[in-house]
Structure 1
Amino acid sequence: MAVKIYFEDFVPGEKRTTTGRTITEADIVLHAGQTGDFYPHHMDAEWCKTQPFQQRIAHGTLVFSVAVGLSAGVINEVAMTYGYERLRFVAPVFINDTIRTTITIKEKKEHKKPGYGLVSELLEVHNQQGQLVMVCEHLLLVEKKEQHG
């Protein structure tokens, strides 16, 4: 679904939560193949039994990719990703965990590019027990209405 949500339309404090997505063994294997990250923490079930978590964990970059993908349910034609900041993997995600992303509009500020503003969204990712597993800020470069006057 495509919409036009201009800089002026974003409301700090506004929240939305995505649907869930279960992380599977296939996700981990595919991600390892795509990235070349075959560390035993993700791939070696027997070795993991000797480690503190006792089981394989999903790659942080896999969790990040899925979490961001979940947040992209609406296509905003007048905004683009400017970057991500303060990315933290707070707790592990295991095979068969289901994650959801809560997006909160954190702040809006002017941008040096005329006709644009910067919107910061806080992304908080929780597992099926409600435990925070990842957090980051998503920066959006968003057109202002004034240039469409």
Structure 2
Amino acid sequence: MKYMLIMRATDEAFAGMAEADFTEMIATVGRFNQEMIRAGVLLAAEGLDDAAEGVVVDHSAEPPVVTDGPYGETKELFGGFYILNVASKEEAVEWAKRAPLTGPGFKTEIRRVTTIDEFPQDNEWIQQERAWREATGQL
């Protein structure tokens, strides 16, 4: 099963990271990533740019309203993610407990990633997506 570990931090926690030794931070994250690679569970891992560089597309109006970042409430920003292929939610939790960049203001949300196999296979759109995934080596 695939699980996404969503790395979140408060504004204060992000600000504290700016004071951390960047080389040591990269080494700490690199060691954690290497553990997951050796265990064969890491499928993807990415960090995200500063929220001030992003935009929000709000679909509650027609046409949708586009607003430059940072967003209204930034109590807990989504700073990056890991996608793991593990046997269970419990295993995903164990990996999340070992994640670096911990302390006050840091949280990891864990969500299962659904697969194309969970949708009606006789649906034309699902069939088209499955064909695209097969053609691009994603199945």
- Do the structures match in fold with TM over 0.5? no
More helix by percentage: 2
Higher relative contact order (CA 8 A, sep 6+): 2
TM-score class normalised by the smaller sequence: under 0.3
More strand by percentage: 1
TM-score (norm 1): 0.25
